[in-house]
Structure formats: C-alpha cells, structure tokens
C-alpha cells in the first residue's frame, strides 16, 4: 500500500466541485498544471483544514480534488494545518489512456460507476450527460451511462490491457473522463 501524502500549511486546495463549470480548454489547462506541479489527486474522501472568511474550517474533500504547493489557475482554498490525505501525486509517470475519436450512437443519460474503487469512475458517477459513444467496446467496464429512453447500459470507460479506454467521442463527460484518467493514470498507484 502506498503512503498517504502529507499536505502542509499554505498549500492550495482545488475542490472537485469547482471543475464542473470549466470549459474543455480550462479543464485541460488545469490538468496540465496538476501534472506539471505534481499536485496530489485525492482518491478517497479526506479531511483537511482550510481558511475561510470566518476562520479555519475542517472540510471533507472529495475524490478528484487537487492539492499543491503551487498556486492553481482556478478558484482555490488555502490549507491551514498539516494533514494526511488519501491521494497520489499526479505526474509521477506518463498518463496511460485512449479516447475514442468517433462514435456511432448518441446516448443521453446518467453515468454509473461499476467499479467503486476507481477514482476516475467515481469522479463521473451520477453525472448527467449526452455523449456520442462507440457501440462496440472492449475491456472491463468501469463506468456506464444508463440510457434515459431504453435503460440500456453503455460503457463510457473500460480498462483494457492496463490502460483506460474512454468510449465517448464527444460531450462533457468525455472531457471529464480524459481529465480524470490522465491524472490518475499518471500516479504511481494508477493504472
């Protein structure tokens, strides 16, 4: 088991909830910043102390949050105490994922994580989306989208030969999965 990363006073926290309003360009810019700075990707909910207008507060941070000693390019909170978080340093190795370049079926529905231990799947879990998907996929399903009209489950992301396969060729969920898969697969403990 990997050691839990320590976060220190003065480090910066980007809460995962803050990324949902980002454009694709902003999201990929945040990803590039995280990889270059070696930001800690939170892989399981953790507690940290942060400064607020009313003083320090203990805050539960979710899967997908980022913590770094370098100032992030989007809204952040500052860490006010030493803590250990359940996470991994991004940018430790080359990201390992593939994204579909085309799709043959348009699906609208909600994303459901099949693997409850996979951080990228958890980051997209319960996300409503419309995406252009490949109908033929290979690998172990990690995340599916449940079609609003038919109830059919379509694989959004699979694990194949040690790499993430993102089966969405377009859509907000595709952007989020590319962001998440690139960060987690660059961690020492990632795929």
DSSP sequence for 43-67? -S-EEEEEEETTEEEEEEE-TT-EE
Residue 187 · residue 40 · CB < 8 Å: no
Quickly state the pLDDT bin for 2 (edges 50, 70, 90).
Answer: low
pLDDT given at position 3:
62
Helix (H) / strand (E) containing 176: helix 172-185
How would you class 111 by CB atoms within 10 Å of its CB: exposed for 0-12, middle for 13-18, buried for 19 or more?
A: buried
CA 114 from centre of chain: 15
Distance of alpha carbon 179 from alpha carbon 191, whole angstroms: 14
Residue 1 has pLDDT above 70, yes or no: no
Read off the pLDDT of residues 126-165 as tens digits, 9 standing for 90 and up. Answer: 999 998 998 888 899 999 999 999 999 999 999 999 899 9
pLDDT given at position 143:
96
């Amino acid at each position: 088991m990997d050691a839990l990363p320590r976060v220190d006073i003065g480090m910066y926290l980007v809460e995962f909830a803050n990324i949902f309003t980002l454009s694709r360009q902003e999201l990929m810019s945040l990803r590039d910043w995280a990889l270059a700075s070696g930001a800690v990707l939170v892989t399981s909910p953790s507690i940290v102390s942060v400064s607020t207008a009313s003083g320090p507060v203990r805050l539960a941070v979710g899967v997908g949050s980022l913590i770094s000693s370098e100032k992030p390019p989007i809204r952040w909170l500052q860490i006010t105490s030493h803590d250990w978080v359940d996470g991994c340093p991004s940018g430790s190795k080359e990201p390992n994922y593939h994204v579909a370049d085309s799709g043959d079926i348009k699906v609208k529905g909600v994303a459901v994580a099949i693997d409850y231990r996979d951080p990228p799947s958890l980051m997209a879990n319960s996300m409503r989306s419309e995406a252009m998907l490949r109908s033929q996929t290979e690998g172990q399903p990690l995340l599916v989208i449940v079609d609003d009209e038919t109830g059919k489950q379509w694989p959004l992301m699979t694990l194949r030969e040690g790499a993430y396969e993102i089966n969405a060729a377009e859509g907000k969920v595709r952007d989020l999965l590319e962001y998440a898969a690139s960060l987690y697969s660059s961690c020492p403990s990632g795929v």
